Amino acid sequence: MRIVFMGPPGAGKGTQAKIICDRYGIPQVSTGEILRAAVKNGTDMGKKAKEYMDAGKLVPDSVVIGIVKDRIREPDAQKGYILDGFPRTLEQADALKAMLAEIKTPLQIALNLDVRDDLLIARLLDRAKKEGRPDDTEPVIKSRLDTYHSQTRPLIDYYRKEGVLVEVPGEGTLEEVTSRILSPLEKIK
Ligand code: AMP
């Protein structure tokens, strides 16, 4: 099962991706988590990424494309994966398409989890209280939403044209959203 999870920050992508990955026994490949770990460990990549992340901007394409290229070649990803938070630009989407074509494993679903901006801001501020993520402050949240609208939202059309788009409303309870996500996935299992 090879899936991309898209959606604005705070839509619940990470939480839902984890539930689905546990259910199917596949890895959740979250570029955000990999980058946060790199920042925490003070690696060269982490040092480069930190200023972009702190400002709510996207880390350069070459960095995240490299992360995903390596990760999906690992043994545990051979039975499938969910890409959580990647791709976020058209260049990343093209790079993903090329790398998957090379290993002859095309993407099966690009799932877009949609939530209105006003709800997202409330959810992210709430997460800030619980998890203390440094990029969950109000000005950075606004910047991340702007980045999403200008750079990532065009991917909805990109994947619609590719014929793999599935749109799921991200509003409602956690369980409601999970069951909405599971029904299209059951068909490709
Ligand atoms: P996330 O946990 O997915 O919200 O990602 C947190 C931050 O990591 C983002 O605001 C970006 O700065 C960076 N990031 C994560 N994934 C990507 C990506 N695919 N492209 C560029 N930057 C990314």
Q: How far apart are CA 17 and CA 64, in angstroms?
A: 19
Confidence of residue 128 (pLDDT cuts 50, 70, 90): confident
Residue to probe by mutation, ligand 1, list 5, 31, 45, 113, most atoms within 8 Å of CB: 31
Before 87, cis peptide (omega within 30)? Answer: yes
Residue 123 known to be catalytic: no
Please give the average per-residue pLDDT across 142-161, as a whole number: 95
CATH class name, domain 2-181: alpha beta
pLDDT in tens, 1-40: 999 999 999 999 999 999 999 999 999 999 999 999 999 9
Residues with CB under 6 A from ligand 1: 9, 31-32, 35, 52-53, 56-59, 64, 85-88, 92, 135, 144
List helix spans (H) across 11-84: 13-24, 31-40, 44-54, 61-71
Q: How far apart are CA 16 and CA 175, in angstroms?
A: 9
Greatest CA separation found in the chain?
Answer: 43
* pTM for this prediction: 0.92
- Look-up of token digits 């910047």: 143
pLDDT in tens, 56-66: 999 999 999 99
Confidence of residue 118 (pLDDT cuts 50, 70, 90): confident
Q: How far apart are CA 29 and CA 71, in angstroms?
A: 8
pLDDT at 189: 66
Kindly report the average pLDDT of the chain as a whole number. 93
Q: Where do the structural domains in the chain lie, given as residue ranges?
A: 2-181
Residue 144 known to be catalytic: yes
